[in-house]
């Protein structure tokens, strides 16, 4: 991959962000495995990407076990054949991560939303910290650490409520870990995703680096 200097490093111009999104999508298309990632554009008109992951949740980790037991019992009482089949399905969370460029901060922002599969339950901030944020990063994310804290707002593309990792410290963090003279738009996005993604359980599959043999040390798959 040819090297180039970003025009506004440590920021990312809209055209460079669009190129970076295309680069990441191409890597996912050419990779033999994407570690369970499903990636697609959020819209055709606004450069942005959606990565979907699924998290298996053990029933003993659910915040309200009593509510879970009552819910499962009610499913059996319904005597609906399809419902009875679903009682054997393990609770699972679907997490949709959207990568969008912030026009004010001029850096990528990671938005994400949760929803339960095969289970009813809350998907608020408590659920984010219980199921999405690894324990070793919880204090950092609650106190606006190196990559900023988790906030809630309206998704800039869909307009729906969503969580996001605040981009207030992104430019400073990129200055510390990326080389302004050799970082391409595609590598910028991968380095950024390695920094912010691991804080919310989004790890870059190793296969995405196979095309150029490079891998930022901060983005190790786990």
Residue spans of the domains in the chain: they are: 14-66+93-219
pTM of this structure: 0.78
Instruction: Indicate if the pLDDT at residue 189 is higher than 70.
Output: yes
159-177 tens-digit pLDDT: 999 999 999 889 999 999 9
Q: What mean pLDDT comes out for the span 58-64?
A: 55
Q: Does domain 14-66+93-219 have CATH number 3.30.300.30?
A: no
* DSSP type of residue 120: -
Pair 163, 128: CB distance under 8 Å: yes
Query: For the chain, what percent of residues have pLDDT higher than 90?
Result: 39
**Comparing C-alpha atoms, which of 133, 115, 150, 108 is closest to residue 24?**
108
């Amino acid at each position: 991959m040819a090297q180039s200097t970003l025009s506004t490093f440590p920021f990312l111009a809209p055209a460079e962000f669009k190129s970076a999104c295309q680069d990441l999508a191409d890597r996912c298309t050419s990779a033999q495995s994407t570690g369970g990632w499903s990636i697609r554009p959020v819209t055709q008109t606004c450069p942005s990407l959606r990565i979907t992951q699924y998290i298996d949740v053990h029933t003993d980790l659910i915040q309200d076990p009593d509510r879970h037991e009552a819910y499962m019992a009610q499913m059996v009482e319904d005597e609906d054949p399809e419902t009875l089949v679903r009682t054997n399905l393990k609770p699972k969370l679907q997490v949709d991560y959207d990568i969008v460029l912030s026009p004010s901060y001029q850096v990528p922002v990671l938005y994400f939303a949760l929803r339960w599969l095969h289970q009813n339950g809350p998907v608020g901030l408590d659920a984010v910290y219980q199921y999405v944020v690894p324990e070793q990063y919880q204090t950092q994310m609650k106190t606006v650490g190196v990559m900023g804290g988790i906030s809630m707002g309206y998704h800039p593309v869909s307009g729906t409520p969503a969580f996001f990792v605040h981009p207030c410290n992104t430019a400073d963090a990129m200055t510390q870990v990326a080389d302004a003279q050799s970082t391409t738009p595609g590598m910028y996005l991968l380095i950024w995703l390695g920094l912010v993604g691991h804080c919310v359980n989004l790890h870059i599959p190793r296969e995405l680096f196979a095309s150029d043999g490079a891998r930022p040390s901060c983005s190790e798959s786990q």
